[in-house]
Amino acid sequence: MLEPGDVLITAEAIQARVADLAEEIRAHYAEPPVLLGLMNGALFFLNDLLRCLPPEAEFQCSTISSYAGTKSTGRIRGLDTISEGLRGREVLVIDDVLDTGLTLSEVRAHLRKLGAGETRICVLLRKNVERSAEVEAHWVGFDIGEEFVVGYGLDYDGKYRSFEDIRVMRDTG
In the chain, the N- to C-terminal Cα span, in Å, equals: 5
Distance CA(69)–CA(50), nearest Å, equals 29
What is the set of active-site residues?
A: 99
Q: What is the dihedral of CA 13, 120, 102, 109, to 10 degrees?
A: 160
Element (H, E) at 18: helix 11-28
Distance CA(101)–CA(106), nearest Å, equals 9
Q: How many CB atoms lie within 10 A of CB 21?
A: 22
